[in-house]
Amino acid sequence: MADKIDQKRLLELLADSGERGMQPAELATLLGLDKGQRSKVRSALLALVKRGAVLHMGRYYSLNKNQIVEDGSLVIGQLQMASRGRAYVDRGDAYEGILINAGDMGSAMDGDRVEVKTWEGRRRTEGEIIRIVERGRKRLTGILNDPTDSLKPDDPRLPERVGVEDALQARPGQVVLAEITRYPGGLAAPPMTVKVSRVLGEPGDLLTEVAKEIHGRGVLTDFPPEVMKQAEATPLTISAEELALRVDMRERNFVTIDPQTARDFDDAVAIEKRPDGIMRVWVAIADAAHYVPENSPIDKEARSRGCSIYLPDRAIPMLPEALSSHLCSLVPNEDRLAMVVQLDVDAQGKVIDQDCVAAVIHSRARFDYAGVAAALSGDFRGQRAQYEAQISNLEALNEVSQKLRKRRMARGALELSLPEAKISLDSDDPRRIRGIVESRGEGDLRQAYSLIEELAVAANEAVGRLLEKADFDAIWRVHAPPEFEALNQLCAWLSGYGIQANPSELVKPKGMAQLLRKIQAHRAKRPLCYLALRALSQACYQTENNGHFGLASKTYLHFTSPIRRYPDIHLHRLVKALLRQSKKPAGMELVCEQRTEKEIQGIAEETSRLERRAMETERAVKSIYSAAIMREHIGEELEGMIIGLTNFGFFVSLDEPFVEGLVKLESLAHSAEFDRDKMRIITGGGRVSYSLGDRLRVRVAAASVERRFVDLELLDAFDVDPTAPKSKAKAGKTEKSRGQKRAPRRGKTRRGR
């Protein structure tokens, strides 16, 4: 029984064990327990892992010093509302949040930064909100009522009716953006009120719904006047004084390699083969920190945004366009300031030496991934003729990147190759969607992407080693090992699909990498990869370097994208301080504050939250475009694959358009149940089951841009899982014959690829 083990004593022992940690057997010995009681120690340790107080890596358990939550502790974090009146407070780490029950929330709202008094609940840490530190939501979107003295918020986590002080000439029924003028203060306090600041448009309109997602999440699209003024006043030329403080690398053969649609270029690469067989690679990173003085208007705005956001019809940049697309961007044929990471790589792909300096470079060419892929395969036709002059350079870069990749995969780095939707819009009308297709990253194109990816990872790790050796307070990119409970569930699901795995092996990167290779050979590899992804922790920014599980890296941080990520700018400033300390070229010294570890941790937590907001915004906007294009396919028969199962239906990924929709259980001819343990849906009195990876023919029943949803009806099932209880091919015909008529065929269908 875990409750017989003194958890406080376990934490004390782990505190004295150093970074290595201890095994359950060692702890049992120190506690005076015999072999038969080791399982109790292990159970107590797993409970502490779930709380976030202990880290679990392989056979060892170590103290997670920054995340211990003891009864009575006061913790500050962000409130995230959930269903059934519950909420969670995110502490900014990679572990589960603190549970807040409905009666313990007070007047706090979703997104607020709150102070919580905690205690250890039955299954997880629980708490009560005792103070609202900062309101997280400054504005909201909603539909104006008639009369216009109130509106209905779009977010169901807000009150159903909010008072309006000023409607700004908006008409009833329109979608508006409103600034909050008064927050709720409890049962006896006045209601929440707002003031309309912008009319977004009519409900259901594509651009209106996109605007709702952007503005409703607090994403700012326009830069304040003082930020634009500072950006426009930035000198366009590099001064002689600045050049004298940097290494002149303008004679190096740097090139940029980015997507065809890239709006900014924050890295360039060059290579030299040395006589001793060592490959010397230079990875130049745009020196955005030079143009973003700390605590300046641009800096404060960049920190408040956290990162750039990329949508089908636009990019919402972290920095003003004058910097992001021009002065900072490593455009071809222009002198540009850069922080250059030098990597010496041996024949086995090991980085045997690294360095970093402030420099000035001159990119020779702007290449894209498709062009590099063609060039490496010997295709120089048409516009690709420009690649021929650089082919020896590209081949050398590709050779070293493949060696780096081979070494990285050997240490246990994970590879989750999941497809993404590529949305094409009409250049003249952003409301017209030309198509949504699967973005193919296979073969030569994947190799071209890998070329830059491997060099960027190696550069990030190299900078991490430099800062760790100097004992600087960095912001690390941390990816914690998966929780044991999540791995247990994953293994149970996979066993139902004929894949056997041991949870104790999956807490090590090599064990998880081996499992992913097994999944790649399975017929349902894509949905099974989604299950594996769900079991992994979410990466975040932290001041404590706890390693990156997914990359199997001990020292990983984000340094290579300062144009679009704020932690990278902070790290550029740190590296410059280190260079000056080491008497190396660092560029002109800018006024920087000496931040405390607590302040840096605040930046890490804030940017982790903003990164999640960006991801949620991008995902939500994609779902809007998906629903919009499917309005043109109502009644058509299409084919797809089951990629997700729930207690209310199964999600189907259509082949073309590359969109996801839902077949509701209630739409089936027979009653159905979701078997969560086996990850299957059972219907037809147990005679029929639907599994991940099954191929289906469906009819598009409905598509709602406002609900971000596509409803599908099942017509037929084929190419089924041979391990399933019964034949779903027959089952599909049964479903079809029980009251589901076929619609006239309006679109082409096609079998699986």
Tell me the DSSP string of 474-497: --EEEBPPPPHHHHHHHHHHHHTT
Dist CA 531 CA 487 (whole Å): 10
For 582, the token pair is 């080491």
Q: Give the phi and the psi of residue 554 in degrees, each rounded to 5.
A: -85, -25
Comparing CA positions, the residue from 68, 67, 46, 70 lying closest to residue 56 is: 46
Dist CA 655 CA 749 (whole Å): 9
Comparing CA positions, the residue from 425, 287, 272 lying closest to residue 356 is: 287
Q: Is the Cβ–Cβ distance between 285 and 562 less than 8 Å?
A: yes
Residue 44: predicted pLDDT: 81
297-305 and 566-581 are packed helices; what angle lies between their axes, rounded to 10 degrees? 130
The pLDDT tens digits for 228-241 are: 999 999 999 999 99
Longest Cα pair distance anywhere in the chain, in angstroms?
81
pLDDT at 683 over 50: yes
Residue 738: predicted pLDDT: 37
Cα dihedral value 91, 96, 98, 101, nearest 10: 140
- Specify the pairing of strand 476-478 against strand 433-439: unpaired
Dist CA 702 CA 135 (whole Å): 38
Residue 28: predicted pLDDT: 84
For 745, the token pair is 């065929």
Mean pLDDT of 141-164: 91
CA dist 650 → 116, 561, 641 (Å): 38, 38, 10
H/E element, 395: helix 391-410
**How many Cα atoms within 13 Å fall on the side-chain side of residue 79?**
32
Q: Is the Cβ–Cβ distance between 710 and 630 less than 8 Å?
A: yes
For 482, the token pair is 């998966």
Lowest-pLDDT range, 282-286, 597-601, 653-657?
A: 597-601
**Size (the chain), residues:** 753
> Which amino acid is residue 573, in one-letter code?
R
H/E element, 432: none
Residue 84: predicted pLDDT: 67
Query: Both ends of the chain: CA-CA distance in Å?
Result: 52
> Which amino acid is residue 144, in one-letter code?
L
CA dist 646 → 354, 424, 664, 681 (Å): 49, 30, 9, 8
Dist CA 733 CA 75 (whole Å): 56
The SS3 of residue 81 is: strand
Neighbours of 378 (CB within 10 A): 8
Residue 750: predicted pLDDT: 32
Q: Is the Cβ–Cβ distance between 216 and 154 less than 8 Å?
A: yes
Cα dihedral value 645, 646, 650, 651, nearest 10: -80
pLDDT at 718 over 60: yes
The SS3 of residue 734 is: helix
Neighbours of 352 (CB within 10 A): 10
Residue 85: predicted pLDDT: 73
pTM for the model stands at 0.83
pLDDT at 17 over 80: no
Residue 745: predicted pLDDT: 36
Comparing CA positions, the residue from 694, 699, 695, 718 lying closest to residue 710 is: 699
Integer Rg of the chain from CA: 28
Mean pLDDT of 737-745: 37
Lowest-pLDDT range, 114-123, 316-325, 645-654?
A: 114-123
Residue 58: predicted pLDDT: 60
Q: What domains appear along the chain, each with residue ranges and CATH number?
A: 2-63 (1.10.10.10), 74-134 (2.40.50.140), 139-203 (2.40.50), 226-477+549-619 (no CATH), 481-536 (no CATH), 634-737 (2.40.50.140)
The pLDDT tens digits for 191-244 are: 889 999 999 999 999 999 999 999 989 898 999 999 999 999 999 999 999 999
pLDDT at 729 over 60: no
Comparing CA positions, the residue from 376, 500, 391 lying closest to residue 446 is: 376
Q: Is the Cβ–Cβ distance between 626 and 421 less than 8 Å?
A: yes
Q: Is the Cβ–Cβ distance between 541 and 477 less than 8 Å?
A: yes
pLDDT at 298 over 90: yes
pLDDT at 578 over 60: yes
Neighbours of 733 (CB within 10 A): 14
Lowest-pLDDT range, 217-231, 424-438, 730-744?
A: 730-744
Sign for the CA dihedral angle at 720, 714, 708, 666 comes to: negative
Full DSSP string of 183-240: ---STTSPPPEEEEEEEEE-TT-HHHHHHHHHHHTT---S--HHHHHHHHTS-SS--H
Residue 252: predicted pLDDT: 96
Q: Is the Cβ–Cβ distance between 165 and 197 less than 8 Å?
A: no
The pLDDT tens digits for 452-488 are: 999 999 999 999 999 999 999 899 999 999 988 899 9
Long-range contacts of 389-395 (CB under 8 A, 24+ apart): 390/253, 390/255, 390/364, 390/365, 393/253, 393/255, 393/270, 393/271, 394/255, 394/367, 394/451
Tell me the β-bridge partners of 44. Answer: none
Q: Give the phi and the psi of residue 751 in degrees, each rounded to 5.
A: -75, 175
For 738, the token pair is 């029980």
For 590, the token pair is 């800018």
Residue 111: predicted pLDDT: 87
Dist CA 224 CA 614 (whole Å): 20
Dist CA 561 CA 749 (whole Å): 42
> Which amino acid is residue 641, in one-letter code?
M
Sheet holding 351-362, edge to edge: 247-248, 351-362, 335-345, 279-286, 267-273, 255-258, 365-368
Mean pLDDT of 307-313: 94
Q: Is the Cβ–Cβ distance between 138 and 127 less than 8 Å?
A: no
pLDDT at 21 over 90: no
Q: Is 154 exposed, middle or buried (0-12, 13-18, 19+ CB in 10 A)?
A: middle
Q: What is the mean pLDDT of the chain?
A: 87
Q: Is 453 exposed, middle or buried (0-12, 13-18, 19+ CB in 10 A)?
A: middle
The SS3 of residue 160 is: coil
The SS3 of residue 444 is: helix
